[in-house]
Amino acid sequence: MTSFSAKPLFNKDCGLLVHPTSLPNKYGVGDFGPSAIAWLELLAQHGQTIWQILPLNPAGYGDSPYQGLSAFATNPVFLSPEDLHVRGLIDDNELRFFELENGSAIDFPVVYSNKAELSARASLRFFALDAADSLRLKYADFIESEADWLESFALYSALKESFGAVAWTDWAEPFRQREPEALARAANELDVEINRVRFEQFLLREQWNEIRATAHRLNIRIVGDLPIFVAHDSADVWCERELFHLNADGSPSVVAGVPPDYFSETGQLWGNPLYAWEMHRADDFAWWRKRLRKILNWVDVVRVDHFRGFESCWEIPGDAETAAIGRWVDAPGREVFNAFLEDWGFPLPVIAEDLGVITDRVIALRDDFQLPGIRIEQFAFGSDEMKATFLPEVYDEHCVAYTGTHDNDTVVGWFTSRAGENSTRTQRDIDTERTETLNYFGTDGSEIHKDFIRSLYRSNAAATIIPVQDLLGLGSEGRMNTPGQSSGCWSWRMMSYIDVLEPLAELSALSKICSRGQVMLSSSVAR
C-alpha cells in the first residue's frame, strides 16, 4: 500500500451533510440566499469545519441531483428571491408573491413553477439595465468565460422547454441530430429563453460566491459531490454524444448501474449511458479535466460518487428492465487520475466513495492517489462480509466517516425498521443487526443516533460527517433517498433552525472533548 506522504485533506475535521434544498426559508425550497449564510454561521458557532452537499446540477428524472441535466450548470431552484430583491430585480410585492407555505417536504412542481416565474420577472428587469451597469458588465464577463458549456446548455434548455420538457431523443429530428441550420434558427427564435438561462446561471454564481466567501471566512470547507455518470437526457450527451456509448438514434446502447446488493435484490438500474473511454483517451481526458476544474470552482473538496466506476463499471444492456443482468467492464481510472494529478498535484481535493463491490484494484487506485475513502457505521452490523471494516475502532486517519449517506435510511429509521420496507433485509437480518448494535454500544438504543455520533467522533477518522437528519434523531420520515425508488425522494426539508440548536450544542461539546473541528483548527494555528 502506498504511504501517505502528501499533506492530508483532513485533520480531525467534523461537519454536517445537508443539501441546500433542505434548508428552511419562506420559498418552498432551500436556496442560495440568507438561510444558507445563516447555516454556515451556525456550523462555525458550533465547532464544525465542513458543510457537505449533494450535486448542485439541474435535477432531472425523479428530481434527482444525480440525474442532472448538465454536468456543469447549476439548478435554477437555488435562485434566492431575497437576493434578487436586494439587487432590485424584484420589488417588495413580488418578494411576498413568491412565498410558499412552509412544509417539511418540497412540492417540486410548485417550486419549479414559482422559480420559473421568478427568473422571468427578474431577467426582464436585468436586461433593461444599462449595458454599462456594473452587474451587466460582470454578466458579460461571465458568459464569455463560461462559454465552453453555457452556450450549449442554454440552447439545450430552451429547446427542451419548447418541446414540452421531453427528452432530447424525442425532439424533432433536425434538433435531435443537431443539424447546424436548425440549431441556428432555434438560437434566433429562442433568444429570450436562452438569455434567461444565461441570466439564471450568472446570478446563481453570484449568489454562491457570497456563500463560499462566508464559508472561507468562517474556516468551513464545502464538500461537493461529483456523480461519476451523467444523465442520458442532458446537455452533455446531446452535445458530445461521441463521448458516450449510444445507438444511431441517440438511445444508450449500454447503461450504468450496480448488481443486486444490500439496497435492491434486482440491483440498481441507473440508466446513465456509459463512457466511450477510447474517445476520452484520445484528447487526454479533456472533458473530465474540465469537469473537475469547474466543480472545484464551486467547492473546496469533491466526493466522487461511485468511485469504483473508475476501475470498472457494471455494464447493462440499454434495453434491460433491471440491473440483474450485466457485466463488469474495465475503465481507465488510473489514466484519468494521472491527468487530474497533472492539474492539481497532491493532495487531490477528492474523496473516493469506495462502497459496494470493492476489489483489490479499486483499493489500489484509491491508495495510489492518496484519496481518503469513506466508512459508513450502519454497515458495521449484520451479515455484511466487510462489516468489521466499518467499526469505528478500526478507522484510520485517512478515512471520512459517516453514520449514513443520502442513500441510507436514517440511523433511527434503520434501527427501528421492519422487513419488506425499502430493503432486501429479512426480519432475521434486522433483528441480528439490532442485537449486535445494542451489544456493541451497551445501551438500550433509546438514543441510538447519539450512540453512533459519539463513536464516530471518538474514532481516528480524518473527518466525521453527520447527515443532519441523524443529528436530529429523525426516523424514516427524514430519509433523503431510497435507491431504486423513481419518485418521492429528495424532498425532505428542515422546518426551521430552532430544532437543530440543542443537538448542535451537544455536537459542539463533543467536538471539544474529542478535539475535532474548529477546536483542532485553532490548536493547529496556535502551534
- Does the pLDDT value for residue 259 go beyond 90? no
- Give the separation between CA 387 and CA 381, rounded to whole angstroms: 6
Q: Which helix (H) or strand (E) holds 328?
A: strand 327-330
| pLDDT (average), residues 236-265 | 90
- The SS3 call for residue 345 is coil
The catalytic site residues sit at 305, 353, 407
- Does the pLDDT value for residue 350 go beyond 70? yes
Ordered structural domains, the chain, with CATH = 23-45+74-219+497-527 (3.20.20.80)
Polymer length of the chain: 527
Which pLDDT score is estimated for 422? Answer: 55
177-215 pLDDT tens trace:
999 999 999 999 999 999 999 999 999 999 999 999 999
- Does the pLDDT value for residue 63 go beyond 90? yes
Which pLDDT score is estimated for 5? Answer: 54
- Among 161-175, 314-328, 483-497, the range of highest mean pLDDT: 161-175
Which pLDDT score is estimated for 485? Answer: 80
Which pLDDT score is estimated for 260? Answer: 82
Helices (runs of H) and strands (runs of E) counted in the chain: 20, 12
More confident residue, 525 or 235: 235
Q: Is the dihedral of CA 262, 263, 267, 268 positive or negative?
A: negative
- Does the pLDDT value for residue 2 go beyond 70? no
- Does the pLDDT value for residue 478 go beyond 60? yes
Which pLDDT score is estimated for 1? Answer: 40
Q: Round the average pLDDT of the chain to a whole number and report it.
A: 93
DSSP secondary structure string for all residues of 481-523: --TT--SS-S-B--S-SHHHHHHHHHHHHHHHHTT-THHHHHH
Model confidence at 44, in pLDDT bands (50, 70, 90)? Answer: very high
User: Helices 147-162 and 134-145, interaxial angle, to 10°?
Assistant: 100
- Give the separation between CA 421 and CA 431, rounded to whole angstroms: 14
402-452 pLDDT tens trace:
999 999 999 999 999 988 755 667 888 899 899 999 999 999 999 999 999
Residue type, 271: G
Backbone angles phi, psi at 406, to 5 degrees: -65, -20
Q: Which helix (H) or strand (E) holds 82?
A: helix 81-86
500-523 pLDDT tens trace:
999 999 999 999 999 999 876 665
| pLDDT (average), residues 467-490 | 92
Neighbours of 101 (CB within 10 A): 8
| pLDDT (average), residues 475-504 | 92
The residue among 275, 272, 423, 262 whose CA lies nearest residue 356 is: 262
The residue ranges of DSSP E strands in 119-181, in sequence order, are none
- Does the pLDDT value for residue 6 go beyond 70? no
More confident residue, 476 or 519: 476
The residue among 369, 430, 445, 374 whose CA lies nearest residue 404 is: 374
**Are the C-beta atoms of residues 155 and 190 closer than 8 Å to each other?**
yes
- Report angle CA 61, 64, 69 to the nearest 5 degrees: 60
Half-sphere exposure of 359 (CA within 13 A, CB side): 10
Backbone angles phi, psi at 465, to 5 degrees: -130, 125
Cis peptide before 260 (omega within 30 of 0): no
Which pLDDT score is estimated for 525? Answer: 45
Residue type, 429: D
Which pLDDT score is estimated for 495? Answer: 94
- Does the pLDDT value for residue 392 go beyond 70? yes
71-99 pLDDT tens trace:
999 999 999 999 999 999 999 999 999 99
Set of cell numbers at residue 525: 494555528
The contacts of residue 65 (CB under 8 Å, 6+ apart) are 19, 54, 55, 56, 57, 59, 75, 225, 227, 490
The pTM of this model reads 0.94
| pLDDT (average), residues 222-229 | 96
Which pLDDT score is estimated for 101? Answer: 86
Which pLDDT score is estimated for 522? Answer: 60
**Are the C-beta atoms of residues 231 and 169 closer than 8 Å to each other?**
no
Half-sphere exposure of 98 (CA within 13 A, CB side): 28
| pLDDT (average), residues 145-164 | 97
Mean pLDDT check: name the lowest of 64-78, 226-240, 281-295, 370-384.
Answer: 370-384
Which pLDDT score is estimated for 421? Answer: 58
Q: What b/e string do you get for 18-49 counting C-beta neighbours within 10 Å, with b at 16 or more? A: bbbbbbbbebbbbbbbebbbebbeebbebbbb
Which pLDDT score is estimated for 270? Answer: 86
The residue among 473, 454, 370 whose CA lies nearest residue 412 is: 473
Which pLDDT score is estimated for 475? Answer: 96
Mean pLDDT check: name the lowest of 183-187, 263-267, 464-468, 498-502.
Answer: 263-267
- Give the separation between CA 315 and CA 245, rounded to whole angstroms: 11
